[in-house]
Amino acid sequence: MLSLTQSDVSMRKLYSRYTDNYSNFFKWRRMQVHFKDEGDGIPILFLHGTSSSLHTWDELAKLLKSKYRVIRMDLIGCGITGPHPKSNYSMEMYLSFINDFTHFLELDEFIIAGNSWGGMLAWNYAALRPKLLSGLILINSAGFKMSKTPKRFKLVQFKAGRWLLKKSTPKWVVKKGLKEVIYSDQIEERLTERYQALMLREGNRRAFVDLMMTRQQPKTELLASIKIPTLLLWGRHDKLYPLHQANLFQKQIRNAQLKIIEK
């Protein structure tokens, strides 16, 4: 009989599978933030989505690092980095972290890029702390109301749902979530396994619940203040952030160009 619950996995057990010779760690407020910094050229800082990791950008890193400096991290509450010790997942915390991280790397000027929730972090940073930015890239970014709210987001509203999210992360649920944001009839098994394994990292499921409980209404009025060149990369078939949302971003950000990705 299949178990309805899955146990947490220690970071040590995951370390050898999901770090490599390019892995580094940035000590920040009692946390060890896992990051990779590869290539030379104009720096691009990549921010992944909810319950994801720096591995979101693996294939892009291979393509870009011959011309750009590709920087990516497991955001706090995700991946090898793991949870915030005080369960602080506010926008202010993340913006402060990005500030300190870029100062640590001595970035004088860089492009910030984000997907989904990472996109919302990126455009908030561009609006509120634009001093060092030369460009913004949003890839199916969060910000406007989802056309379809995933069940895991709805479950957070209920005590029993929060318990379930902290205890039960079966592979079939992970695969279903991936199908909402990846255009493919067949999700690779290794991709599902990676997402599941890093979600099971000790503390990450609680972090997801705490993040959902912390989330406030996005301040999309800030988008009008963004003046740096902005690229909107939008997958046409995204089920959570459909194409019409790209048009909303383009209307709000004065220097935004839209490129649509088929399939």
Over the stretch 74-130, which tens digit does the pLDDT of each residue have?
A: 999 999 999 999 999 999 999 999 999 999 999 999 999 999 999 999 999 999 999
If you compute the radius of gyration of the chain from its CA atoms, what whole number of angstroms results? 18
Enter the tokens of residue 19: 């770090």
Residue 19 has pLDDT above 90, yes or no: yes
Q: What is the layout of strands, in order, in the sheet containing 31-38?
A: 23-28, 31-38, 68-73, 42-47, 110-116, 133-141, 230-235, 256-261
State residue 148's pLDDT score.
80
pLDDT of residue 3: 65
pLDDT at 41 over 90: yes
Residue 212 pLDDT exceeds 50: yes
pTM of the predicted model as reported, rounded to 2 decimal places: 0.95
Tokens of residue 134, six digits: 């030369």
Residue closest to 142 by CA, chosen among 262, 260, 263, 245: 245
Q: Are 213 and 159 in contact (CB under 8 A)?
A: no
So what's the pLDDT on residue 187?
A: 86
Other CB atoms within 10 Å distance of the CB of residue 133: 21
- For position 68, what pLDDT does the model report? 98
Predicted confidence band of residue 4 (pLDDT cuts 50, 70, 90): confident
**Average pLDDT for residues 36-45, to the nearest whole number?**
97
Per DSSP, the residues of 212-239 read HHH-----GGGGGG--S-EEEEEETT-S
- pLDDT greater than 50 at residue 1: no
pLDDT at position 195 over 60: yes
Q: Which stretches within the chain are classed as H helix?
A: 11-18, 58-64, 91-104, 117-128, 151-155, 159-167, 171-179, 189-199, 204-214, 243-252
Residue pointed to by tokens 């634009």: 130
- The predicted pLDDT at position 2 comes to 53
CA-CA-CA-CA torsion sign (253, 138, 199, 79): negative
Cβ count near 82 (within 10 Å):
23
What per-residue confidence (pLDDT) applies to 107?
96
Please give the mean pLDDT across all residues of the chain.
94
pLDDT (tens digit, 9 = 90+) per residue, 60-74?
Answer: 999 999 999 999 999
Q: What is the mean pLDDT of residues 231-254?
A: 95
In which residue are the tokens 């926008």 written?
Answer: 91
Residue 216 CA to residue 50 CA, distance in Å, equals 15
pLDDT digits (tens, 9 = 90+) for 139-175: 999 999 887 888 888 899 999 999 999 999 999 999 9
